[in-house]
Amino acid sequence: MYPYLRLAKVLLLAHLRPRVGIEEQTELAMRVWPGDLDAYPEQNNGRHLTLMDLGRYDLAVRCGLYRVVKRRKWAFMIAGSSVRFRHRLKPFQSYRLCTKLLGHDGRFVYFHQMTVTGGRNGKATKAHSSALIRAAVADQQGLVDIGEVASALGKEAWNPGLPVWVQAWIDAEAQRPWPPDELD
């Protein structure tokens, strides 16, 4: 089930937390609850991705993007992801969800998100998972050009270069057939 109560809490608190710039990293304090667990018991891999939504919402509210999207009747959508899992998150374990908007390629924006324990301010003593998320803003006609989104946010010149590893992922994804061939 989608964590609607957690989302409501994140949205409420994000309005009360300090504003951030569009390229600043944000952090949310999180905890593994029984509904997050799989049979092993550890936080389920799909739940990692679901809870990462909360980090993107927190950043979107705090940098003003959420307000722009709502006002224009646009919507956020995920267009791809790549996740690495390295260490288990166990029942009731606390951790931090770090979220950073890396940049865009005109059609999509790219987020880097990590679940970490220990350390502070993005400095982890242990990274549990790391995800590259490709996201878009859409309206009734389809994808909204990211330049238009940046302009609506007052960041007309926002065009940071993407890290080499992100561009390599974009290039690899471009070689993948879409729509996919039937499974053999």
Kindly report the CATH number assigned to the domain that includes residue 80. Answer: 3.10.129.10
Residue 182 lies in a domain: no
Give the pLDDT score at 158. 87
Residue 77 lies in a domain: yes
Q: Which domain holds residue 11?
A: 4-175
Give the pLDDT score at 184. 57
Residue 123 has pLDDT above 80, yes or no: no
Residue 181 lies in a domain: no
Give the pLDDT score at 159. 86
Q: How confident is the model at residue 180 (pLDDT cuts 50, 70, 90)?
A: confident
Task: Answer for the pair 115, 89: CB distance below 8 angstroms, yes or no.
Answer: yes
Residue 110 lies in a domain: yes
Query: Strands (DSSP E) along 3-44, which ranges?
Result: 26-31
Count the domains in the chain: 1
Residue 159 lies in a domain: yes
Neighbour-count burial for 42-66, b at 16+ CB within 10 Å, e otherwise: bbbeebbbebbbbbbbbbbbbbbbb
Residue 183 has pLDDT above 70, yes or no: no
Q: How confident is the model at residue 178 (pLDDT cuts 50, 70, 90)?
A: confident
Residue 43 has pLDDT above 60, yes or no: yes
**CB within 8 A of 137, min separation 6: which ones?**
69, 74, 75, 76, 77, 109, 143, 144, 146, 149
Percent of the chain with pLDDT over 90: 86
How far is the C-alpha of 71 from the C-alpha of 86, rounded, in Å? Answer: 39
Residue 129 lies in a domain: yes
How far is the C-alpha of 71 from the C-alpha of 57, rounded, in Å? Answer: 15
62-103 confidence digits (pLDDT tens): 999 999 999 999 999 999 999 999 999 999 999 999 999 999
Give the pLDDT score at 122. 56
Residue 134 has pLDDT above 90, yes or no: yes
Task: Answer for the pair 69, 56: CB distance below 8 angstroms, yes or no.
Answer: no
Task: Answer for the pair 124, 182: CB distance below 8 angstroms, yes or no.
Answer: no
Residue 184 lies in a domain: no
Residue 183 lies in a domain: no
Residue 124 has pLDDT above 80, yes or no: no
